[in-house]
């Protein structure tokens, strides 16, 4: 590898969500077919930003937001210590398989530990198109455990 290629390598930054990331985050949510609007996302992000149990981070590649992760600390009677849930993790399709998702998960692990969590978890659907995401989660150390049951109210 030449020094020129090292100097021109894209710079990846994982940082906390900022208000000017709203359009990019909304676009990422839509890319995975989560129906949302800019106004809905603005309201959700504002509500989460003032709650210390939530953390929203983005992956920025050379100044462009290309990924995001949303976290929520959960306390329950079942677990003595809080656990951290990944509520969303998305990397834009053109930037997948470059280590960005892994870096987002590593940032989530750091935040979770800082909050006193010793468990990081996520839920995912069982649709066939999610198989690559499931393989990714297992590849980076997540273990498949149990089922999720839902009841519409």
pTM score? 0.82
| Residue 3 scores a pLDDT above 80 | no
Domains, the chain: 9-139 (3.40.630.30)
Q: Report pLDDT digits (tens) over 68-114.
A: 999 999 887 777 788 898 988 999 888 888 889 999 999 999 999 99
Q: CA-based Rg of the chain, rounded to a whole angstrom?
A: 16
pLDDT of residue 51: 86
5 falls in which pLDDT band (50, 70, 90)? very low
pLDDT of residue 98: 86
Whole-number average pLDDT of the chain: 84
> What CA dihedral angle connects 86, 106, 24 and 18, to 10 degrees?
90
């Amino acid at each position: 590898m030449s020094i020129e290629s090292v100097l021109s390598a894209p710079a990846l930054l994982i940082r906390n969500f900022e208000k000017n990331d709203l359009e990019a985050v909304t676009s990422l949510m839509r890319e995975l077919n989560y129906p949302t609007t800019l106004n809905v996302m603005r309201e959700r992000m504002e509500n989460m930003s003032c709650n210390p149990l939530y953390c929203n981070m983005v992956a920025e590649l050379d100044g462009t937001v290309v990924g995001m992760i949303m976290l929520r600390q959960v306390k329950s009677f079942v677990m003595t210590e809080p656990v951290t849930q990944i509520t969303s993790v998305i990397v834009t399709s053109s930037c997948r398989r470059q280590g960005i998702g892994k870096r987002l998960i590593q940032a989530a692990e750091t935040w979770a530990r800082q909050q006193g969590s010793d468990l990081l978890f996520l839920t995912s659907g069982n649709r066939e198109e999610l198989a690559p995401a499931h393989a990714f989660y297992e590849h980076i150390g997540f273990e498949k455990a149990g089922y999720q049951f839902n009841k519409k109210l």
